[in-house]
Chains A and B, each alone.
Chain A
Amino acid sequence: MMKLLKFAIGLCLGLLLIAAPLSQFQPSALDALETMTVQQGGRKKPLDTVAQETVAKIHGSTTYLHDGIRESSMETFLSLWLNNRNWNEEPFVLLSYRPLKEQVGLDPDQKHFSFETLMRNQALGAVVREAHQVEIRGEDLTRDQREAITLEDRLTLMLETVSDDAIAIVPHPTDIKGKWVGITEGQSLYPAESVAPLLANFATIKQTFLSGTRHLPLLAPLAASLKSGLTALSPEVYPADSVMRREVFFNHFHPFAKAWQLYGIAFIFMLAALWIKPLELYWSAIGLFVAGVAVQSYGFWLRMQIAGRPPVTNMYESVVWVGFGIAAIALIFELIYRSKYYLLAAAPLSVVCLILADSLPAVLDPSISPLVPVLRDNFWLSIHVPTIALSYASFALALGLGHVALGSYLFTPQAKSRIQLLSQLNYRVLQVGVLLLTTGIILGGIWAHFSWGRFWGWDPKETWALIALLCYLVPLHGRLVGWIGNFGISVASVVAFNAVLMAWYGVNFVLGTGLHSYGFGTGGSELVIASVVGLDLLFVLITAARYQGWLIKSGEPDSAVSPNPFGS
């Protein structure tokens, strides 16, 4: 009974954190502008999404610090679109790649530059031109050139945004998939008399904005009437308001950010439960964790509704999905075994996944865009990829448990029973991973049979999924003949995860070949990942040395790794 109560307290605390602040459920003053429909990038989306995507793409973040005030993406976008300040001189455009800045003589410590500075930089122009030449010749671009082209895209987008017709808001009169046009181009689709009032309305909005008002809510009634005018032009084609509102809500609700915060708090509660016995916070921690899994599930469900497709179709979604998988699998095991360690191992990993997904929009692009043809209209995609990604999540959880175990070997080798328990827990997770990865590979084979005409073709992504599986099967079979024991399984669950990383990320970004190329991106964080992997392997090496008795027992191990046993 007490357990249930504590669980309910944890759950309610979690739900409270999700709901706060309550204002997020009320429409904002700019609601009419935010929910105005724009046709862009092959789908219809609310202006709020356009603002977020545009600002994030140019600035690398969805907020902009202007004159000491942090502006939202909507405020920044409106200012850019309606052009009410000297955007030539605002240090707005992201350029973070140091070698390129050094090469073209820009301050390497500055992160954002003004449009004018970049456009006037002759050396930069030369790099961009050379990059285009290389592209035309069909050769591989250097990192400098790739960054220069990305920068050119940012500048082009910025230039294109400063125009009344930058966004297509006038609906097509008849065709649900027809091409929309900008506000002043409306006459190409409608008679002048039906467009004129809207133009006047838009002019008033622009006037009000240009007159220097800091009170955007003043625009609300004007925006509302513009939006209803646009809807009235083509009520059949214009999407329902609830659809746009749902997406705006998703943008502002940040379910994945809320999820990692909850996982973090649950982690702290669980640590407290482990170390401070009288508090008995175990069930509250579980309650918080359940709330985290729930809000993340809800986020996925919303995203699926908005995109109208299965949950995992690109790198960003796979990272969020793996974060979810780690939490969900850990929760199931935790409920079975009540060992605390599943949750303790899973929470930091889920948090890392979700923070990564949230903070690297350049590498992991969160925007929702239409799928490439091969991924479309496909039953197998909706089960093959999530299954594979769930197996990665299982192996990630095993990695976490492996770290806890190795940390125990390193710091508390006398705690034999805990080490024994951790190995048993780890083995269960590895089983789930092997089953899911095997199933995922086979489902992929069935899909490939339909799509590419063969079950197995040694495509690099396929091959690496198999390599990852073999990397787990070898120690699991080695354990059967007694070649490795509990320590070996812990080491294996850490080391073999590198094969998963390679199959998941490396094939796309390191090898960059093969049929799975629609998941490929620009990458660029190879060095960071390589150093994290290197440090982790060093940690394993030190633990192994300690285990084998190579280190003197009295001396503290000289470790480059943080003493936190849950990760490196």
Chain B
Amino acid sequence: MRILNGVIARIVGAGIALSAYDGVASAQVPTYPSDRINMTVAFAAGGFVDTFARIIGQKLNEKWGKAVTVENKAGAGGNTAATIVANAKPDGLTLLVTSTAIAINETLYKKRDYTLDQLVPVAIAVSSPETIATHPSKPSNLKDYLSWAKKDEITFASAGVGSGSHLATEYFMKRLAKQPASHIPFRGGALAVQAALGNQVDLVASSFGIIPQIADGKLKGLAVASEARVAAMPDVPTYTEAGFPFVAESWVAVIAPAKTPPAIVEQLNAAINEIVNEPQTREKLLGMGYQLHSRSAAQVATYLNDEVAKWGEMVRTVGVTVE
């Protein structure tokens, strides 16, 4: 069985390598995975990072015939899980599934028990842009909104201090819009959205979590921080269209210990990209408002570096640190 699975993985893997990228030779490791794969999720069960891990885990299991367990190790803004995987055996059997937090925490946290050098990114295949929205009783496009606010301090809700939504929005207000805004942190994005639904705050900043309310007209989306509009809420313009070139996206990353053999990283990268692009999964993810990206392992590494720099700049501008 093991040999057969290996052969199948090799054939499938080779097929992906040819179709997805131009000329990236993808060496397969016939013995991988030799045992159960453990995905350590940096956040609690139920969130998108967790959901994504469980979707991928299930499909990897179907693909390779090895059990895939998902373990939630929430804590310290994702650092707990990162530390565990940074110190795990680099055999590709222990993987970290985390979010933009891993890029943000490089600058946000003064002290961490791991360094990014101890990890190697495998895949960053889905993202959702940071979005701002407001109660329908308020002006419904960004330009009108800002002139309505007239430089008086407005309040905006987010999932918490140091969350991508908080940083991106405060950075935008401070640097680009020059609009005074005071951040109201909530424990989790859902409660922030609730505050906006009830018109308790002037604005809410969130990523994918806000799409259903915008799609249903319960909230008005002002801008999305991506290159192109989001299919699930086509009426919401990008920041660039609204006159403020600005891109900030929230993503989910699968990451392995740094010394994991490159061939295994390539194999996992190919498998995850393939799973995300399966018609059924693809449709689901798109419907939820996600944007999909097929990036090779090398592209993922470059992307992560750029993101660390970009979020670092936002963290410094906003001026928050966690000891």
Asked if A pairs with B, the answer is no
Binding site for B on A (CB under 8 A): none
